Each structure stands twice: as structure tokens, then as C-alpha cells.
Amino acid sequence: MVNVASLAGLTAPPFLGPYVASKHAVVGLSESLAAELAMAGSPIRVSVVCPGHVRSRIFESDRNRPAEFAAESRTAPEVRARISAAFAAALGEPMAPTDLASRVLAGIEKDAFLILTHPELNGQVRARLATVERTARTTA
């Protein structure tokens, strides 16, 4: 079984609270399911894909919102532009979907639970884990 989350399922970038929460939920659900299947002796394995930026239309998702639910942004245009520029700088060049597919298949073949497709962004995951580790050591 392969679930798709996002790098945001292992990190917590600003201005994406609902997205981050849903992607963390996918990772947690996958982790729990993998443990349950292993305890039951099932041959079924679980992988969760946590990609970075992939060439898709995710930033055009407003196209899916029915017109009656559309709302004007209350954020000043210059603030929106600054946030957009920060996202573009942080995300870098998007990966081609075919490259993503190849990396996912390679992860499945290795029976990997976590499939991280953008190694150049793994530092973000390590930084978050280091924070958790430091906190766990100081509160033990």
C-alpha cells in the first residue's frame, strides 16, 4: 500500500497549517497501519511518499473551488507577493512527475516505509528531528 503525503508531513512550513496537519495525519495513519499489519503477520507492507515540489497544478487548486465559496483575500497584495516569493525560493525547481514515479517505485522495491523523493530537502527533516531529540533529552 502506498500513501502519498508530502515533505510537509515531516516538517511544518509556515502559512500551511491545514495542509501540514493533513499531511502529518497521512504519515501517522500510515505508520500505525504498517505496525498493525506487521503485528498481524500480514504480507502487506505500507509505504508513505513524502515528496517535495513536483510539477503539478497544486498552486492552481482554486480552480476546484465552486464560485459560491470563493472569497477575496484580505491579505495585502505586497504581503501575498512576499509570501509567494519565499515559497518559490524554498521550493526550488519542481521535479518532473516521471522522476517522482521512478523514485517511488525504487522505494517500493526496497520495501521502504518512508519514501523521501527530494534528497536535497532532507536537511529540513533532519532539523525537525534534531529539535525533537533535543527536547526529548532535556525533558527526560
The 10s digit of each residue's pLDDT in 47-105 is 999 999 999 888 778 788 888 888 888 889 899 888 888 877 877 789 999 999 999 99
Over 34-49, what HEC string results? HHHHHHCCCCCCCEEE
**What is the CATH code for 2-22+33-59+75-138?**
3.40.50.720
Parse the chain into domains and list their residue ranges.
2-22+33-59+75-138
- Of 63-67, 94-98, 116-120, 128-132, which gets the smallest average pLDDT? 63-67
DSSP string covering the chain: -EEE--GGGTS--TT-HHHHHHHHHHHHHHHHHHHHHHHTT-S---EEE----BSSSGGGGGGGS-GGG-----S-HHHHHHHHHHHHHHH-SPBPHHHHHHHHHHHHHTT-SEE---GGGHHHHHHHHHHHHHHHHH--
Q: What is the pLDDT of residues 9-46, one digit of tens each?
A: 999 988 899 999 999 999 999 999 999 999 999 999 99
Question: What CA–CA distance (Å, rounded) separates 85 from 36?
Answer: 42
The model's pTM is 0.85
